Amino acid sequence: MASKLAIARLSKSFGDLEALRGISLTVERGEFISVVGPSGCGKTTFLRIVAGLEHASSGEVLLDGRVVRRPGTDRGFVFQNDSLLPWRTVLANAIIGREVAGSIGAADRKRTMELLKLVGLEGFEHYHPRQLSGGMRQRVNLARALAIDPEILLMDEPFAALDAQTREIMQTELLRIWERGKKTVLFVTHHIDEAVFLSDRVLVFARRPGRLQAEVKIPLPRPRTLDIKRTPEFVALVDRIWRMIEDDVRAAALYENA
């Protein structure tokens, strides 16, 4: 069977800056893939190209064998900041993708209500974003992406702005939801711990130029609970990835502080 997502020799430059060089990879149906790397390794740019929000300078992205050129409802994007419309209720926010695709009916509303229940927001359908906590807003953000029933979920550091405990809760919640539907997921993060906990494979990016440095399989059994983070296998995997990018991270930190 053909891969869900196939990316071939993808490169991207912003003027003189080479953001991505020659990224090639394939993702199978139902796989959970994370992308980690230091700041400036182009991981977010990479995700935005897959989303169609950004154009590649060369190379191509194939989703189910079709070339990706622009955004579309076959991909659901979960943003780092929740990007909720403040004047809309939770339900109206979550349903907006379907609204853009065409007129919405009772069936769409029902399905979106079910999704809100799935992400743990039952009873909050008619609240406004300002009445919700950061974690709850990210749940709406996730429900909004799921509501269009995308072929693949693209998640751009969705838990980065949350506090440490909420982040861990959201990680287990995400796994719970993913186990239900087995969507294909491409998850960008700078937390190695988070990437290892969630993923089947972790793609390690390097910077200047942004490129795929290594690919680490995560053979930890599923379903996973937070306990697994204290097993020696988990710690070893995190450590291995950390050593791959350590020098790069230090260089990036120096560069950014300069």
Partner 1 sequence: MSVTSESAKTVSPPESRPAEPVAAPQLGGMLRPRFFAAILSVAGGLVLWELISWFVVNNALFLAAPSQIAVATYHLAVTGELWKHIKISAEEFALGYAIASVLGIAIGFAMASGDTMKKALQPWVSGLNATPTIALAPLFILWLGIGIWSKVLVVIFFVLFGVAINTEAGLRTTSERLIEMLRSFGATPRQIFFKVSLPSAVPSILAGLKLGIGRGLVGVVIAEFFGSRAGLGRLISQSADAFNMPELFAGVVVLAIAGIVMTAGFGWLEKRLVPWTKD
Q: Which residues bind partner 1 (CB under 8 A)?
A: 51-53, 70-73, 75, 77, 79, 81, 83, 85-87, 96-97, 99-101, 120, 123-124, 127-136, 148, 162, 164-166, 168-169, 172, 225-227, 229
- What does the alpha-carbon distance between residue 85 and residue 206 come to, in Å, rounded to a whole number? 35
Nearer residue to partner 1 within complex by CB, 214 or 235: 235
Question: Least CB distance from residue 55 to partner 1, whole Å?
Answer: 13
Question: Least CB distance from residue 158 to partner 1, whole Å?
Answer: 13
Question: Least CB distance from residue 205 to partner 1, whole Å?
Answer: 22
Nearer residue to partner 1 within complex by CB, 172 or 213: 172
Instruction: Please state, in angstroms and as integers, the Cα–Cα distance from residue 32 to each residue in 55, 91, 192, 207, 212, following that order.
Output: 24, 27, 14, 23, 17
Nearer residue to partner 1 within complex by CB, 153 or 204: 153
- What does the alpha-carbon distance between residue 209 and residue 228 come to, in Å, rounded to a whole number? 34
Q: How many CB atoms lie within 10 A of CB 15?
A: 6
Opening angle at CA 173, ends 151 and 89, nearest 5:
75
φ, ψ at 202 (rounded to 5°): -115, 125
Nearer residue to partner 1 within complex by CB, 59 or 134: 134
Question: Least CB distance from residue 218 to partner 1, whole Å?
Answer: 18
Question: Is 215 within 8 Å of 204 (Cβ atoms)?
Answer: yes
Nearer residue to partner 1 within complex by CB, 204 or 238: 238
